[in-house]
Structure 1
Amino acid sequence: MTRIKILALLIIMSITSAAGAADTTTQPPREVRLKIVETSDVHGNFFPYNFITRTPWNGSMARVATFVDSLRSSDGPESVILLDNGDILQGQPTVYYYNFVDTASRHIASEIYDYMSYDAATIGNHDVETGHKVYDRWIEATDVPIMGANVIDTATGLPYLRPYTIIERQGIRTAVIGMLTPGIPMWLPEPLWSGLRFEDITTSAQKWVETVRRKENPDIVIGLFHSGYSDASRRPGLTENACLEVARNVAGFDAILGGHDHQRANRIVTNPEGRPVVLLNPANDAKAVGVLDITLSIDSDGTIIDKRITGSLADVDTLNPSPEYMSHFGAQRQAVENFTGRIIGRSEGLFDSSESLFGPSPFMTLIHRLQLQLTGADISFAAPLSIDAVIKPGDVRVSDMFGLYKYENMLLTMKLTGREIRDYLEESYSIWVDTAATNPGRHLLLFRSKRPSANDNRLRNPAYNFDSAAGIEYTVDITQPKGKRVNITSMADGTPFDPAHTYTVAVNSYRGNGGGDLMTRGAGLSKEEMKQRTVASTDIDLRYYMMKEIEKNGTITPTTDHNWRFVPEALADSLSETDRKIIKGH
């Protein structure tokens, strides 16, 4: 072999050896696994006990604590991110007590966030419903960032709350952008949200995802939106449930965690760049949590070369409550139990909200009479806020009042003409009652299913929008279409009812601000007109006045003001008998 060939061979061997050495030092991609856990619409369900029905309760934050503790133990604390999606300050008496009764102690919702080491939360519409004093105190009392990028301070034009937060785990930067459904001005009186305005979620999401990606260079971007999956029927100027719209139309999100509509969702949607976006919603009452499983492959220079995200919904309602959690919050639980267990009077009979679907009932008569008494109005509008509330004969406790009246609504007095009152009722009964003329022999009620049964008895629309009236005499013809059903014959005292006359009307604050569309689609009032027509408002919720009235009188007796009825009566009675069995499950 010549000298030149030997030299060439040595060079080749040297290169091969160097390459081999390089191969042995090349680092394989680093793999990082994260789990993001979401709660939403907890509504004060902090304990495995329902303080309204005074019975054991599925779900609850006590069970979520068990689930999260287990994850942190198995995967490590640095692998778990915990988020809440709002509507935590309304629902169970646990939060009412710390919202309005014990305002000196630290708010229990704030303490739960810190105790469970939440990383971030978004404000919900029912949190805003508690008013500035309550939600500002809740926000200030926790170390957890409460977000709302589209909640704008009108004085500064800047977000009133933190728009986003950056959470670092295992060297990975996760950006969480918080948003709130913007329908607040349509549902709540302005004093509750004074100084604020609410931007469209999609518009705000586009702005903030671009800002966050430019300024923060995150590895993962999550939308934490107190908004539902999709709006089936959009109102002009409002997209209430925008998660699907944002996922499809706004590039930059890896996942969007929803809430608000109390509907479970686990979907994958393609964004404008052709990338998958995971959509999750664990529904309400802390019976389930949403879980994002994230796996990242990271090159030696820190570049993410692969990102895999899957979503799941994990039921927690069968888990044992965390003993440590229950012990830590034992004093708070006892305080709430003492509050709700207090006897305020006695019931001489049964009050059953489900009977309100079929005509006048003791349940609705009690509410109507109180509204008329408190306001001195000519007419009262009210709805059963749930169809499964019952006050049984015997002692009436504070807890019973949360079943009787579910929400913290104020009581308004408004001015409406007789024609507007009739149109308002036409709208109410159109979403409540089927049309027997076009569907003979079917049902009185509008069910969601074409073949409703005791196992599928969901109504097409929420019963809290089924307003009836007191102070007037009227009939509702179930054989006629919307617009020709309601016939008001007189005032309750027998004097004539005049379509051109202006009457004072008692309504709750949700309705008086356009909630349920009875004032807008029905009476035909704009938002500005509703403001102008409001002549008075209570400064405390209606439930408070109900409790005080029962305490003052000592007893409540089931009586019914039969001031309205369905006609033809024989047909209505027959359909009611069928539907009553479906609603009651027997």
Structure 2
Amino acid sequence: MTSRTSVNLTILQTSDVHGHLYPTDYRDSGDKPLGLAKLSTLIRRERSLDPSLLLIDNGDLLQGTPLMYHYAKFDRSGVHPAARALNALRYDAAILGNHEFNYGTELLRQTIADSGCPWLSANIIDGVSGNPAYGQPYRIFTHAEGIRIAVLGLTTHYIPNWEDPANIEGLEFQDALEACRHWTSYIQEKEDPDAIVVCYHGGFERDPLTGAPTEPLTGENQGYALCRQIEGIDVLLTGHQHRLLTGEINGVLIAQPGSAGQALSKIELEFVPGQDNRWSLQRKSAALLFAEEAESADHELLALFAEDERATQAWLDQPIGRTEGDMTIPDPFTARQADHAFTEFVNRVQMAVTGADISCAAIFTNAARGYGERITMRDVVSNYIYPNTLKVLRLSGQDIRDALEQNALYFEWNESLGSLQVSPSYLVPKPQHFNYDMWEGIEYVLDIAKPPGQRVVQLERGGIPLDPGASFDVVMNSYRAGGGGNFGMLKDKPVVREVPTDMTEILAEWILKQDVLTAACNHNWRVVYGAQGQ
């Protein structure tokens, strides 16, 4: 044992980078305080202070920007950009996120093979062999002073509720809590490390401070239960929810660094000599390092993707059509309160390509701005930011009513302002505007003055009240069709038809074929509050 009184060890965590290598959101050319190239400047600074630090990515790296989309759909030459980034920054480990599967297992396996670091996955299992399907469950990292750190990788097991079945064929997703219980016990018994770090691509189902439930306990997020129910975890690195968090739960240090490369988690562990020639964890702390602290992006890292970026930008700026009339979205919240030409267009395309009579779609973020007079690929991918496919479900009239009641929870009344506002449950712990749908093919009114569960005050089709027992074919994105967003009434419903093409491709091809889009709106739905509905 060394004669030193203590040894400090640093762990840096990125998570939910979502393909943001450059400091841009691709909506304009402005430099933004985000992206892995800016975090790289901070990583290099921290590594100069502690050359032996551990650098870990906690998932959702392969999807989320036009650069990653363009590579997956049109290029696929050479080493995957995500693997290039992991290798250039000398990551020690990577964890699988749910969005790693969006472009299929072939591309994922290519990325893993191209990566110089191990990918850790304890609860995603090969259905044939029964073994972990990707990489290994955990890895032991040994510090120069002999300190042994166990890093265990877990992924939210809720993926089958969202993902295209073709992209996860042959895989089993074990309950992350139970997998953690098994592997933590195994690591303690077989490895006897000086500290255990669990890297979980999942978040917290309860408020970290109070323990109060913050979402339906579906199993999508189990971070609070991991801290409270499993002995032996020293640090829990989380993600998935895109939150900026540090703190402790039941003595377990926690951290979550937001999304899109906006921040980096820094974990500091102090070890002191213990009994039996061992090291003892004396102190631990967590902090967030923000991309805005970087004076500039790492130009060496950016140079690795210069050609990818050039090709992506050229593709984004291709004009593919134009509009007649107004399809812009000046205010997304207003556009969610009554039928709008942009959502009408998306729903109409979904109905046309699938033959469904009814459709629902969302304005995914408050950054969505619709289409101006000239439409480019940048406009398409900026408004439709997820690689969803389409599914047609056979639903009853009651299923549709239940789904609309779920949608109505998006709103609440602000007494002081005398107006509608977004319910806090759709803003915390992260914005979930993508979980509010607008429907076409039916006529409906949501009255937010009514109690939850009774807010659908009008529901008709062609002027006739919708029969609760009748069947209807409804098209929606693949995420919603799996029940994602607390739409349990849609889960496991009969699938009438699937369109495996990415929705952005469907929209782009439609616009190219039409050349001119005429803005139209049949005003088939609205949201009111009490007397407004009269």
Q: How many residues align?
A: 522
- Correspondence for 1:467: 437
- Correspondence for 1:583: none
Correspondence 1:179-578 to 2 at 5 A: 179-231=154-206, 232-233=213-214, 235=216, 238-270=218-250, 276-298=251-273, 302-305=277-280, 307-319=282-294, 320-348=296-324, 349-352=326-329, 353-429=332-408, 431-434=409-412, 442-448=418-424, 462-488=432-458, 490-492=460-462, 497-518=466-487, 520=488, 523=489, 527=491, 529-530=492-493, 533-567=494-528, 571=532
Structure 2: gaps spanning 5 or more residues: 207-212
> Identity of aligned pairs, percent?
30
Amino acid in structure 2 at the alignment position of 1:160: A
C-alpha distance in structure 1 between counterparts of 2:225 and 2:247, whole Å: 13
Provide, for residues 285-335 of structure 1, a one-character-per-residue CA deviation record: whole Å limited to 9, x for no partner: 111110111222237974215532211111122311112112232222212
Instruction: Decide whether the 8 Å contact of 1:378 with 1:504 is kept in 2.
Output: yes
Instruction: Decide whether the 8 Å contact of 1:446 with 1:460 is kept in 2.
Output: no
| TM norm structure 2 | 0.91
C-alpha distance in structure 1 between counterparts of 2:291 and 2:502, whole Å: 33
Q: 1:132 to 1:297 in 2, by over 3 A?
A: same
Amino acid in structure 1 at the alignment position of 2:507: M
Instruction: Decide whether the 8 Å contact of 1:297 with 1:307 is kept in 2.
Output: yes
Amino acid in structure 1 at the alignment position of 2:299: P
- Correspondence for 1:165: 139
Q: 1:206 to 1:460 in 2, by over 3 A?
A: closer
Local SS of the residue matching 1:407: coil
- Correspondence for 2:70: 97
- Correspondence for 1:61: 36
Amino acid in structure 2 at the alignment position of 1:464: F
- Could you tell me which of 120, 124, 149 is aligned with 1:147? 120
Q: 1:211 to 1:300 in 2, by over 3 A?
A: closer
C-alpha distance in structure 2 between counterparts of 1:328 and 1:554, whole Å: 36
Query: Which is higher, the Rg of structure 1 or of structure 2?
Result: 1
| TM norm structure 1 | 0.83
- Is residue 2:18 matched to residue 1:43? yes
Q: 1:221 to 1:478 in 2, by over 3 A?
A: closer
Q: CA shift at 1:555, angstroms?
A: 2.5
Amino acid in structure 2 at the alignment position of 1:165: R
Q: 1:331 to 1:302 in 2, by over 3 A?
A: farther
Instruction: Decide whether the 8 Å contact of 2:71 with 2:308 is kept in 1.
Output: no
Provide, for residues 375-416 of structure 1, a one-character-per-residue CA deviation record: whole Å limited to 9, x for no partner: 111111112111220135332221111222121111011111
Instruction: Decide whether the 8 Å contact of 1:180 with 1:227 is kept in 2.
Output: yes
C-alpha distance in structure 2 between counterparts of 1:203 and 1:132, whole Å: 25
Local SS of the residue matching 1:464: helix
C-alpha distance in structure 1 between counterparts of 2:359 and 2:176, whole Å: 35
C-alpha distance in structure 1 between counterparts of 2:205 and 2:458, whole Å: 38
Supply the RMSD in Å over aligned alpha carbons.
2.7
Amino acid in structure 1 at the alignment position of 2:16: D
Local SS of the residue matching 2:523: coil
Q: 1:568 to 1:269 in 2, by over 3 A?
A: closer
Q: CA shift at 1:36, angstroms?
A: 0.5
- Could you tell me which of 102, 105, 108 is aligned with 1:129? 102
Structure 1: gaps spanning 5 or more residues: 1-25, 271-275, 450-455, 574-586
Q: 1:460 to 1:127 in 2, by over 3 A?
A: closer
Q: CA shift at 1:138, angstroms?
A: 1.7
